[in-house]
């Protein structure tokens, strides 16, 4: 029996070696492709993309949807940053989704809201609207107060009904766009409106916006190791990996914090699916499905130098809830679209992108947990020596950290981040620390997310906001010199 068990463990080890070997190879390919693409984006100051989008802005006006639930600490900062975007043709719709704090009161006070008597048509289903308000000081700002069902998707459907422009841009209430971000993300649409159906910017972890020359202080990279690890994670996963998928027109997710879509296509799909916890992933996969079933030639773009800075969870508890929710959402969306798996009808989406999400995103925590269980059994039975195990672990640890270090360099080049050598060293140290304690925690959080999904948990668990640290406002800001952003995290 021991011989049989030894053979099973040996075969399992070979299978895991192949799996992790392919995973590493895919990571290397993604990194190399992103590094090659980085030379196309030498700066973040706009250039031809911004000029082209501004020229075409009258033809492609945008409705910005900002779902907000209990966001009193950050909503003012978020709305003011949107009002300062350089893109001229836009409206901003803030959806107060049944907030239990003072979100609506803060908006009413800051922006002089008055009741708006205009009617709206409910094209897609959403919870009842309690009131509409228009800003007396800024005509582009509309605030809608609605009942909540605990779903971000339902809030977005409400905004979708109210949007009057042909393109919608979804921005989270805890996020801040760089002034030219919308110009850049609209550039591919302006260049090829018949083919580009959606466009995404890049979401990175940020702490503060610095206005040069106005005495902003405390611009250190980050204050906690947890924050630095998230900086690395966002650069690697939200920037480098998605760049490569986008280059092959296989981008499977446009972050819910910053993305633009053709409104008529979203309406055609029936709006956002309110029962999902991953409305951003769900919408993009449904777009791929619908357009491929119709045989359309289309493009979903990612613009890596169009940057959105977002608040990241500052406590382990909030981060655990967020990552468990992300994995529950991933499982929900993949099960809902399971017929696309290895289905040649959907081309490379069905044959490559969907299988990757199943094998290397959804099932990875299960396979990793099985690997550690097999290792423990093999050690207990004397089939595996500690020296061999430590050698393999150190090799994998070092390779993963080196890949993350390369991702940091690529990310800094694409986003034109200016960082001191000490900042870079701290981020590299975070790469090694990530696999020492953060990855095992991620494994537990994802496994818990799977368990909670099958227990029927559909709660959103939105993290408590601490708020983007505000900068001193200049009396007369200089046009074109609004902000410079340094990579940092919330403390």
Question: What is the tens place of the pLDDT at every residue in 415-436?
Answer: 665 555 667 788 888 888 888 8
Instruction: Outline where 193-235 has alpha helix (H).
Output: 225-233
Which whole-number Å values give the CA distances from 382 to 5, 94, 385, 430, in the listed order?
12, 62, 7, 34
- pLDDT at residue 225 tops 60: yes
Instruction: State yes or no: pLDDT of 16 exceeds 60.
Output: yes
pLDDT confidence tier of residue 387, bands split at 50, 70 and 90: confident
Task: Output the pLDDT for position 282.
Answer: 97
- Within 13 Å and on the Cβ side, how many CA atoms surround 395? 10
pLDDT at 396: 80
pLDDT at 490: 28
The mean-pLDDT minimum among 310-314, 315-319, 383-387 falls in 383-387
Query: How many domains would you assign to the chain?
Result: 1
Task: Yes or no: say if 281 and 330 are a contact pair by the CB < 8 Å rule.
Answer: yes
- Name beta bridge partners: 260: 169, 199
The whole-angstrom distance between residue 59's C-alpha and the CA centroid of its chain comes to 28
Domain of 218, in residue numbers = 23-361+459-487
Domain assignment present for 308: yes
Q: Does residue 453 register a pLDDT over 60?
A: yes
The kind and range of the H/E element at 415 are: helix 386-415
Q: Is pLDDT of 393 > 90?
A: no
Query: The whole model's pTM is what?
Result: 0.86
| 5 part of a folded domain | no
Q: Is residue 133 part of a domain?
A: yes
Strand 484-487 with 258-262, pairing: unpaired
Higher pLDDT pick, 220 / 298: 298
> Given this model, what pLDDT does residue 433 score?
86
- The pair phi, psi for residue 115, each rounded to 5°, is -55, 140
Strands 90-97 and 129-135 come out as unpaired
For residue 93, the model assigns a pLDDT of 97
pLDDT recorded at residue 488: 34
Q: Decide if 398 is inside a domain.
A: no
* Better-scored residue on pLDDT, 225 or 83: 83
Per the DSSP assignment, residues forming a β-bridge with 67 are: 95
257-303 residue pLDDT tens: 999 999 999 999 999 998 898 999 999 999 999 999 999 999 999 99
Q: Do the domain assignments include residue 415?
A: no
Of 122 and 119, more confident:
122
Q: Is residue 60 part of a domain?
A: yes
pLDDT at 464 over 80: no
Q: Would you place residue 406 in the very low, low, confident or very high pLDDT band (cuts 50, 70, 90)?
A: confident
Domain for residue 448, yes or no?
Answer: no
| DSSP β-bridge partners for residue 258 | 171
CATH number, domain containing residue 291: 3.90.550.10
pLDDT of 226 > 50? The answer is yes
Least confidently predicted of 16-30, 153-167, 216-230, 464-478: 464-478
The answer on pLDDT for 209 being more than 60 is no
Q: Is residue 3 part of a domain?
A: no
Mean predicted confidence (pLDDT) in 306-316: 85
Position 182 scores a pLDDT of 93
User: DSSP secondary-structure letter at 312?
Assistant: P
pLDDT at 28: 83
> Which is more confident, 99 or 7?
99
**Residue of 153, 129, 124 whose CA lies nearest to 267:** 124
485 or 137, greater pLDDT: 137
Please tell me the predicted confidence (pLDDT) of residue 479: 30
Q: DSSP 3-state assignment of 443? A: helix
Q: What average pLDDT score do residues 314-336 get?
A: 93
Quote the pLDDT of residue 421.
Answer: 63
Q: Which two tokens stand for residue 251?
A: 């981008």
The 10s digit of each residue's pLDDT in 25-69 is: 888 888 887 777 777 665 445 556 666 666 666 679 999 999 999
Q: What is the pLDDT of residue 82?
A: 94
Q: What share of the chain is helix, strand, coil (3-state, %, to 5)?
A: 50, 15, 35
pLDDT digits (tens, 9 = 90+) for 149-190: 878 999 999 999 999 999 999 999 988 898 889 999 999 999
Averaged confidence pLDDT in the chain: 82
Residue 250: name the closest of 192, 299, 191 by CA: 299
Q: How confident is the model at residue 478, as a pLDDT?
A: 34
């Amino acid at each position: 029996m021991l011989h049989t068990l030894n053979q099973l463990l040996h075969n399992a080890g070979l299978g895991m070696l192949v799996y992790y070997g392919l995973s590493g190879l895919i990571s290397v390919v993604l990194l190399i492709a992103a590094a090659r693409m980085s030379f196309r984006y030498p700066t973040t100051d706009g250039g031809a993309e911004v000029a082209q989008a501004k020229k075409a802005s009258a033809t492609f006006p945008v409705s910005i949807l900002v779902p907000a639930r209990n966001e009193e600490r950050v909503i003012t900062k978020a709305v003011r940053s949107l009002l300062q975007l350089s893109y001229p043709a836009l409206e901003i719709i803030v959806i107060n989704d049944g907030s239990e704090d003072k979100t609506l009161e803060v908006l009413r006070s800051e922006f002089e809201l008055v009741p708006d008597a205009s009617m709206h048509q409910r094209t897609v289903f959403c919870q009842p609207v309690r009131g509409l308000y228009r800003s007396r000081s800024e005509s582009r700002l509309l605030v809608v107060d609605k009942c909540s069902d605990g779903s971000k998707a339902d809030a977005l459907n409400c905004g979708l009904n109210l949007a009057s422009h042909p393109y919608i841009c979804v921005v989270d209430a805890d996020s801040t766009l760089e002034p030219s971000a919308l110009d850049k993300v609209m550039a591919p649409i302006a260049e090829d409106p018949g083919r580009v159906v959606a466009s995404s910017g890049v979401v990175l972890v940020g702490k503060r916006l610095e206005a040069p020359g106005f005495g902003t202080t405390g611009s250190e990279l980050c204050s906690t190791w947890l924050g630095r690890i998230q900086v690395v994670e966002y650069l690697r996963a939200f920037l480098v990996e998605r760049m490569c998928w986008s280059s092959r027109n296989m981008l499977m997710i446009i972050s819910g914090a910053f993305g633009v879509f053709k409104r008529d296509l979203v309406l055609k799909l029936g709006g956002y699916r309110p029962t999902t916890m991953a409305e951003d992933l769900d919408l993009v996969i449904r777009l791929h499905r619908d357009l491929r079933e119709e045989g359309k030639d289309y493009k979903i773009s990612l613009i890596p130098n169009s940057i959105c800075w977002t608040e990241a969870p500052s406590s382990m508890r909030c981060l655990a809830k967020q990552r468990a929710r992300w994995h529950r959402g991933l499982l929900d969306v993949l099960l809902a679209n399971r017929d696309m798996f290895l289905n040649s009808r959907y081309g490379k989406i069905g044959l490559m992108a969907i299988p990757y999400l199943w094998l290397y995103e959804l099932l990875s925590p299960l396979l990793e947990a099985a690997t550690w269980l097999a290792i423990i059994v093999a050690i207990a039975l004397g089939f595996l020596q500690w020296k061999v195990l430590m050698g393999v672990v150190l090799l994998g640890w070092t390779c993963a950290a080196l890949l993350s270090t390369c991702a940091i360099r690529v990310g800094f080049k694409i986003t034109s981040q200016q960082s001191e050598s000490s900042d870079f060293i701290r981020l590299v140290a975070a790469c090694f620390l990530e696999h020492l304690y953060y990855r095992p925690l991620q494994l537990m959080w994802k496994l818990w997310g799977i368990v909670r999904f099958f227990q029927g948990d559909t709660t959103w668990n939105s993290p408590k906001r601490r708020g983007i640290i505000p900068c001193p406002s200049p009396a007369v800001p200089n046009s074109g010199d609004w902000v410079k952003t340094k990579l940092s995290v919330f403390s």
